[in-house]
């Protein structure tokens, strides 16, 4: 401030008023001070802003998943890319941390709040029994839930916005297409059982199976890794009544599952069709190319960041529904060889 004041020919208090958009200086002086500050490369101190109650100019995101599985998950990479686009435009920083479980995640929120480290948070992977919304209510920390809270929690946390995904509708669209192709034995290789979206997908599969009389449709939960995806694939294909179609909750498991099926002597898609819940370059590198649900995950991230920015600007919490993903059919799905009744 002293350097700026000397070069601009004004007092240090005038510099403070000008840079903090406070009354007390003329517009001519304010413009001169800002030009000098720009020439000197001045940027506001986030630590000083936090201490003065003006905010940290930073938002946080904590992911409670195994680091090994997170590192190969294209969904999170694209989501963060979309989030960062908006934050960069707003000159907001992103504080990112990976922890082992939700208990550790809640501890991070408490620490960030106590230290004034973040102005708000982006919450991923809503749980079926989730303590985080109530904690954020208690702390008064603005947040956006990426995904959808369990049905009973909808509207229960007026300080939290939600960017909702219709997982049930997406699963229904996959089952409808596989059923039309003649598949009657369908297995869903799901992700972590504690996640709300996993629960919705499993329940949707059951509902669609009941409606269509698919008595052998079922779900198997995993940790999202290629290792567990391949193991689950071997388990169901080596059973007495192997499925004719497999639905995987991410692209990594789908690619590993397709390779595992081939290693067991199953032709994809001749013996078993494969569908990935997430589309990515991996789906187009696998042999055969994988049928996948496609959504604009970068736009998904942008929407979440925009909703958090709105809350930080004083806007009201709200729920935004993103478009239903579409199924891109490639080489890994075909008509069931011998449909079962």
Q: How confident is the model at residue 337 (pLDDT cuts 50, 70, 90)?
A: confident
Residue bearing tokens 């071997």: 234
pLDDT of residue 153: 55
17 pLDDT more than 90 = no
Q: Determine which of 30-44, 189-203, 228-242 has the lowest per-residue pLDDT on average.
A: 30-44
Average the pLDDT over 88-108 and give the result.
Answer: 94
Question: Pick from 259, 211, 247, 251: which is nearest to 333 by CA?
Answer: 247
Q: Mean pLDDT, to the nearest integer, of 191-199?
A: 94
pLDDT computed for residue 47 by the predictor: 46
Altogether, the residues listed in the chain come to a count of 341
Strand partners, 64: 99
Q: How far is the C-alpha of 198 from the C-alpha of 196, rounded, in Å?
A: 5
The pLDDT, as a whole number, for residue 68 is: 73
SS3 219: strand
Residue 86's contacts (CB-CB under 8 Å, 6 or more residues apart) are: 301, 302, 305, 306, 309
Give all domains of the chain, ordered by start, each with its CATH number. Answer: 2-43 (1.10.260.40), 58-165+296-324 (3.40.50.2300), 167-294 (3.40.50.2300)
pLDDT tens for 156-179 read 788 899 999 999 999 999 999 999
Note the pLDDT of residue 116: 92
Residue 265: predicted pLDDT: 97
Residue 262 in tokens: 């081939």
Residue 120 neighbours by CB under 8 Å, 6+ apart: 59, 60, 141, 142, 143, 144, 308, 311, 312
Residue 43 clears pLDDT 70, i.e. is over it = no
Mean pLDDT of the chain, nearest integer: 90
Instruction: Check whether 50 has a pLDDT greater than 50.
Output: no
């Amino acid at each position: 401030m002293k350097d700026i004041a000397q070069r601009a020919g004004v007092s240090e208090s005038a510099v403070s008023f000008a840079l903090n958009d406070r009354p007390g200086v003329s517009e001519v002086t304010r413009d001169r001070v800002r030009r000098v500050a720009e020439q000197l490369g001045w940027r506001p101190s986030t630590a000083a802003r936090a201490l003065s109650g003006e905010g940290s100019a930073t938002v946080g995101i904590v992911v409670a998943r195994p680091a090994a599985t997170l590192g190969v998950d294209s969904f999170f990479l694209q989501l963060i890319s979309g989030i960062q686009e908006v934050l960069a435009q707003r000159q907001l920083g992103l504080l990112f941390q990976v922890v082992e479980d939700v208990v550790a995640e809640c501890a991070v929120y408490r620490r960030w709040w106590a230290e004034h480290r973040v102005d708000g948070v982006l919450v991923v992977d809503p749980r079926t029994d989730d303590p985080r919304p109530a904690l954020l209510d208690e702390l008064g920390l603005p947040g956006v839930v990426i995904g959808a809270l369990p049905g009973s929690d909808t509207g229960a946390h007026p300080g939290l916005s939600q960017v909702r995904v219709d997982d049930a509708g997406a699963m229904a669209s996959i089952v409808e297409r596989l059923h039309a192709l003649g598949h009657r034995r369908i297995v869903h290789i799901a992700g972590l059982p504690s996640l709300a979206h996993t629960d919705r997908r499993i329940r949707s599969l059951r509902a669609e199976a009941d409606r269509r009389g698919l008595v052998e449709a079922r779900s198997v939960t995993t940790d999202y890794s290629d290792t567990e995806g391949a193991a689950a694939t071997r388990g169901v294909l080596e059973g007495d009544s192997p499925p004719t179609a497999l639905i995987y909750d991410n692209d990594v498991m789908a690619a590993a599952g397709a390779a595992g099926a081939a290693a067991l002597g199953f032709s994809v898609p001749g013996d078993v069709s494969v569908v990935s819940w997430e589309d990515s370059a991996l789906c187009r590198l696998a042999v055969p190319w994988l049928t996948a649900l496609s959504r604009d995950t970068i736009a998904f991230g942008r929407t979440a960041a925009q909703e958090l920015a709105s809350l930080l600007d004083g806007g009201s919490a709200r729920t935004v529904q993103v478009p239903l993903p579409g199924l891109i059919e490639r080489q890994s799905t075909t008509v069931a060889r011998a449909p079962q009744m």
